[in-house]
Structure 1
Amino acid sequence: MTTKLSRKNAAVFSFFLAVPTMAAASGYKLFQLFKEPAGAEVLKDNLMTLLIGNAVAFIVAMAAIKFFIEFLTKHGFKAFGYYRIIVGGVLIVLLLSGYSLSIV
């Protein structure tokens, strides 16, 4: 907000900043796949599934971004602030009660 951007423009800018980061991460994963002995064959066998998955993910991401920008324009960041505080509180309670939050 120190750059005098509106909330909507700041949110749009942050989404644009994520594009090169995600492209670099995807490129790195693709590079790692090609380093494996059977990586090129795995990619060739699953290329259509990969392309369809990426197309669907792109469409869903665009819909989510559109919803977020519209919501932000109407309501501001207050709801997201409350959401983060509530989720953080729940996570702290779970951790203090001994619940393991590991994904793997």
Structure 2
Amino acid sequence: MISEFTRTAVPQLVGHELEFSKSQHEEKFHSLHEAESVIREELEELEEQAEVCRKLFEDLHSDTRQDDKDGAVINAKYLAGSAEYAAYEAIQLAAMCLKLVEMAGREDEV
């Protein structure tokens, strides 16, 4: 279960990342193809980080099976850091998807 704070904070973080992207790059994508490419890149980065998390969990699982508390704690620490990085990637992915949605919305207004 996700806390109400997190449920509220994540959309705010996505919105902030979207605004940051627009300030660092262009306000909108140059084309649908560019949008798709950027979104694919963010998805691939998220998938890579999720794979790191999976491998770290496998190590933690192995440590648990061997009753190696110290090893499990170390792997849990690394897994927490990796999961945070995966959250960053997921936020960037969501922001780039919203950037495409905004681009499509502006074109409909013209």
- The higher-RCO structure (CA 8 Å, 6+ apart) is 2
Normalising by structure 1, we get a TM-score of 0.35
Larger Rg: 1
Normalising by structure 2, we get a TM-score of 0.34
